[in-house]
Amino acid sequence: MKTLDTPSRFAGRRVLVRSDLNVPMDGTTISDTGRIVASAPTLRALAEAGAKVIVMAHLGRPKGKRDESLSLAPVVPALAEAVGRDVAFAADTVGEDAQAKVAQLEDGQILLLENLRFNPGETSKDDDERRAFAEQLAALADAFVSDGFGVVHRKQASVYDIATMLPSYGGRLVTSEVEVCDRLLHDPARPYVVVLGGSKVSDKLGVIASLLERADTLVIGGGMVFTFLAAQGHGVGASLLEEDQIDTVKKYLSDADERGVEIVLPTDIVMAESFAADAEHWVRPVAELETTPAGDRALGLDIGPDSAQEYARRIAAARTVFWNGPMGVFEFPAFAAGTKAVAQALTDEHGGVADGRLTVVGGGDSASAVRNLGFADEQFGHISTGGGASLEYLEGKTLPGLAVLDS
């Protein structure tokens, strides 16, 4: 992969940068600016080198039609603050406004195009339609920099096709993400502990199978834990359960035992009478999850305090930790303790990146959780911007947006 090692080569040239600015929004308010901040170093380096920087990104899933609630316009002030200079905005992607504003760009200036996914060609499964949109984007610039790690696992016009049309480079964010993933995949310091959470086992089938060949310990939490507990014969009440995955999980447990990989499951669960922030809740051992006033109607919304303490102990003793997926419904304060305990165990205060130790927060809900719970990015070895991309990389899959940069 050619990288952005000498930004000065782009002085006076128009450079299209594919960033990942798909940030969580509450109306027009950004609730987590992590991806914007992570995108800034590449944009700043190019602008400071005198490039004419054209940023393209998406927000949400507008399905090829304009949706004002998913406009990138509210992102402009936050991006300007992160980069440290003004950012102009085009009201379309390849239309009259974009073309006019690109033509007016001076050296060192930055322009953000409107949401790429307002155009059906961006995500089309039809190669010709996707390529036609990529050609329109490519006509705006002299070079392409891929810096949206969160989308490199997608074969989309602004990620894949455009890289076949312009001189193409990996940006600083993509480069750093790949370096970290390579360490996790090929050269982890041991003990290597993987912490997996989130709602469904089915979302992580490939990565679990891959990590059973690489990790020393898998620590399981979140909604997916109830399929593991059911596979061991426990009742789980009304908790999230994928019955069609129970046999798969049983095989994981068997394979782990044969390989000498430990799968750590919770010993206690915070059970609640309903899925609500103010729901009545109780802590129960895993053998007694239905012994609450709500009986078999109770559902698990977090790992219990004993489990949180044990998970933290396992993490603190590891040399490499990869974490993807919260331990519970962290958005509700009453059910955030498990996720907070995992995050705390990963921080610098408990060893973070000291003495060669690497702790990686694998993007998505995990990244949002650590920030929403009051942790700073600097407390962790690395916070990924791409949950899905990270998982697919660790599965050993070929990611189209990276493979095309090597071709």
| 349 annotated as a binding-site residue | no
Catalytic, 364? Answer: yes
| 331 annotated as a binding-site residue | yes
The sign of the dihedral angle between the CA atoms of 333, 337, 338, 340 is positive
Q: What span, in angstroms and rounded, lies between the C-alpha atoms of 163 and 357?
A: 35
| 221 annotated as a binding-site residue | no
Q: What span, in angstroms and rounded, lies between the C-alpha atoms of 383 and 322?
A: 10
| 254 annotated as a binding-site residue | no
| 154 annotated as a binding-site residue | yes
Among residues 14, 18, 35, 284, the one annotated as catalytic is: 35
| 382 annotated as a binding-site residue | no
134 with 161: CB under 8 angstroms? yes
Backbone angles phi, psi at 145, to 5 degrees: -120, 120
Catalytic, 388? Answer: yes
Token pair of 292 as six digits = 């609450």
Q: State which H helix or E strand residue 361 sits in.
A: strand 358-361
Q: What span, in angstroms and rounded, lies between the C-alpha atoms of 157 and 177?
A: 21
The sign of the dihedral angle between the CA atoms of 46, 48, 53, 55 is positive
| 223 annotated as a binding-site residue | no
Token pair of 57 as six digits = 């990104």
Q: What span, in angstroms and rounded, lies between the C-alpha atoms of 358 and 378?
A: 13
Among residues 197, 362, 364, 386, the one annotated as catalytic is: 364
| 117 annotated as a binding-site residue | yes
| 21 annotated as a binding-site residue | yes
Q: What span, in angstroms and rounded, lies between the C-alpha atoms of 159 and 404?
A: 9
Catalytic, 362? Answer: no
For residue 235, which of 271, 189, 210, 274 has the smallest C-alpha distance? 271
Among residues 66, 85, 200, 319, the one annotated as catalytic is: 200
Among residues 170, 197, 223, 388, the one annotated as catalytic is: 388
| 300 annotated as a binding-site residue | yes
Amino acid at 159: V
210 with 76: CB under 8 angstroms? no
Token pair of 344 as six digits = 């705390």
Q: Is 399 helix (H, G, I), strand (E, B) or coil?
A: coil
Residue 3 per-residue DSSP state: B
| 214 annotated as a binding-site residue | no
| 364 annotated as a binding-site residue | yes
From the CB of residue 77, how many other CB atoms can be counted at a distance below 10 Å? 11
Helix axes 387-395, 172-186, angle to 10 degrees: 40
Measured CA to CA in angstroms, residue 209 lies from 261, 360, 392 at distances of: 12, 19, 12
| 61 annotated as a binding-site residue | yes
Token pair of 350 as six digits = 């408990």
| 366 annotated as a binding-site residue | yes
Catalytic, 381? Answer: no
Write out the binding residues: 20-22, 35, 58-61, 117, 154, 204, 300, 331, 363-366
Write out the binding residues for substrate: 20-22, 35, 58-61, 117, 154
Write out the binding residues for ATP: 204, 300, 331, 363-366
Q: Active-site residue numbers?
A: 35, 200, 364, 388
